[in-house]
Amino acid sequence: MSSNLPPQAKVKYQEYLDAGSLEERIKKLEEFLSLVPKHKATEKIVALNRSRLAKLKKEFEKKRHKQKSTQKIISPFSIKKEGIQIILISDFHIPGAGKTSLLNYLTGAAKEKIGKFTPIPEIGIYEYNKIRYQIVDMPSIMEGASNGIGNGKEILSQLRSCDLICVCIDLSRNYEEQMNLLLNELNNANIRINIPPPPITIEKTGSNKIQVLYLTSEAKNINENLDELTERIKEIVHEGGLRNAIVRVYGRITLEKVVDALNPSIVYKKAIIIGTKGDLAHTQEVFENLKKLYSETFPIIIGTSVKKSEFPDNFGEILLKYLDKIRIYTMNSGIIAEKPLIIDKENATVKEVANKIHRSFVELFDHAIIIREADRQKRKKVGTEYQLKDNDVIELHLI
């Protein structure tokens, strides 16, 4: 054990080594980590033990899962996705942050539930220019939710599959307390917010120990001291339970990211902040401070008041852009469909649209006609790989 550690941490570490049950070991290791000051000299110890902790938790979840699978119940928390799913969350407080009020403002649903405790999710559809957003008003997240407090496991697990998390912050209360609690619970539940997945893959192999490859010039140039980094990565991967593996690095990484990459239960989600109750005293100033503090992690922070009907008219547009999605209108015999198809901008090709309409359309495809109002040449004949843009009209011609 390193001499850089405070004595209480060393004591905790010994307790961890002595602990009998899996639960006890997890608890002691968590306590140990919370006692280690975070700086350069302790970075290695922290990363190693976080990796250890993740492995122990995985074992624990497996054990729990085995016990649970014998008693299957349908959870009222499990929500069937419809359209683009947006989940509203807030901390637990009386009065609430205003989630149900927002749900009602956007969708008309759950009016009678405003100001009341809502123990299970409330759902409504917010339609914006024929784009359907499913708005889910989740029960509040309590401190310790990630450990199961207040149905926390059920609530947090729903967030893993949504399209966007909407963090509702009551501007008439201390915003930092609310943000810290929520971000902490999300992080503990292995939900990472507004960051891309780490540029690293770890592939289990049959032999050859652990190899680390830096595959882009970026990975080679920006990561400091490659030999040292390679050794640390090997230790972490080994500690995570792999004896033989190929680690591929594509960009800048930290040891923390290596630990994340080893953990398959981590998901990466987009989130925005909605400040609520902007009509109450001093909330304007609070909102400005909230923006200052979080705008680096949250590109979209909106101040609102449902009491004064202050809410962006183009909310649906803001969401679509932020989620990197575009709308495509199909045309059949010269008639343009009212409802757009929503697809990811990243792979918005003609083929993707054809596939969405019917799988056989790709095989039967001959050509497509694209109508793009913004272009000088409005009408174009194109093939399957053609890149589409927001608001394109497409007519598929089959063989």
Ligand X SMILES: Nc1nc2c(ncn2[C@@H]2O[C@H](COP(=O)(O)OP(=O)(O)O)[C@@H](O)[C@H]2O)c(=O)[nH]1
- Write out the residues near Mg ion by the rule CB under 5 A: 100, 118
Q: How far is the CB of 94 from Mg ion (least distance, A)?
A: 11
Q: Cβ 115 to ligand X, closest distance in Å?
A: 4
- DSSP annotation of 199 reads S
Query: Which of these, 189, 177, 159, 188, lies nearest to 93 by C-alpha position?
Result: 177
Report the residue from 49, 51, 85, 100 that binds ligand X according to the rule CB under 6 A: 100
Residue of 136, 202, 290, 306 that binds ligand X (CB under 6 A): 306
CB 341 within 8 A of CB 327: yes
Which of 107, 178, 230, 305 binds ligand X (CB under 6 A)? It is 305
Q: How far is the CB of 19 from Mg ion (least distance, A)?
A: 40
HEC letters along 77-143: CCCCCCCEEEEEECECCCCCCCHHHHHHHHHCCCHHHCCCCCCCCEEEEEEECCEEEEEEECCCECC
By C-alpha distance, which of 163, 183, 373, 171 is closest to 275? 171
* Residue showing tokens 């190693």: 48
Query: Out of ligand X, Mg ion, none, which partner does residue 307 contact, by CB within 5 to 8 A per kind?
Result: ligand X
Residue 340 binds which of ligand X, Mg ion, none (CB < 5-8 A, kind-dependent): none
Nearest to 202 by CA among 259, 147, 256: 259
Q: Which two tokens stand for residue 17?
A: 């080594």
Residue 158 as a binder of ligand X (CB under 6 A): the answer is no
Q: Which residue is nearest to ligand X (CB)?
A: 96
Instruction: Classify residue 279 by its DSSP letter.
Output: T
When asked if residue 299 is in the footprint of ligand X (CB under 6 A), the reply is: no
- Cβ closest to Mg ion, residue 274 vs residue 343: 274
Omega cis (within 30) before 198 = no
15 binds, among ligand X, Mg ion, none (CB under 5 to 8 A by kind): none
CA distance 171 to 301: 12
Stretch that binds ligand X, among 3-11, 95-103, 327-335, 361-369 (CB under 6 A): 95-103
- What's the DSSP call for residue 358? -
Choices 98-106, 190-198, 340-348, 390-398 (CB under 6 A): range interacting with ligand X? 98-106
Structure tokens at 85: 């799913």
Contact region for ligand X (CB under 6 A) — 19-27, 75-83, 111-119, 212-220? 111-119
Site string for ligand X, 262-291 (x = CB under 6 A): --------------xx-xx-----------
Q: Does 166 bind ligand X (CB under 6 A)?
A: no
Q: Which is nearer to ligand X, 97 or 258 (CB)?
A: 97
Among 87, 97, 202, 237, binds ligand X (CB under 6 A): 97
Q: Contact between 178 and ligand X (CB under 6 A)?
A: no
**Binder of residue 115, out of Mg ion, ligand X, none (CB less than 5 to 8 A by kind):** ligand X
Closer residue to ligand X, CB minimum distance, 186 or 370 = 186
Q: With binding defined as CB under 6 A, does residue 101 bind ligand X?
A: yes
Residue 277 interacts with, from ligand X, Mg ion, none (CB under 5-8 Å by kind): ligand X
Query: Minimum distance between the CB of residue 113 and ligand X, rounded to whole angstroms?
Result: 7
* Beta carbon nearer to ligand X, 26 or 301: 301
Find out whether 178 and 142 touch, Cβ atoms under 8 Å.
no
Distances in Å between the Cα of 153 and the Cα atoms of 86, 136, 157, 159, 367 are: 18, 16, 6, 10, 49
Cα–Cα distance measured from residue 365 to residue 197, given in angstroms and rounded to the nearest whole number? 35
User: Can you tell me which residue has the tokens 């759950």?
Assistant: 110
β-pairing, 131-137 vs 122-128, is: antiparallel
Residue 132 near residue 327 (C-beta atoms within 8 A):
no
The distance of closest approach from Cβ of residue 100 to Mg ion in the complex, given in angstroms and rounded to an integer, is 3
Among 46, 114, 135, 155, binds ligand X (CB under 6 A): 114
Cα separations in angstroms, 81 against 87, 188, 195:
11, 24, 23
Binding residues for ligand X, rule: CB under 6 A, are: 90, 95-101, 114-115, 118, 276-277, 279-280, 305-307
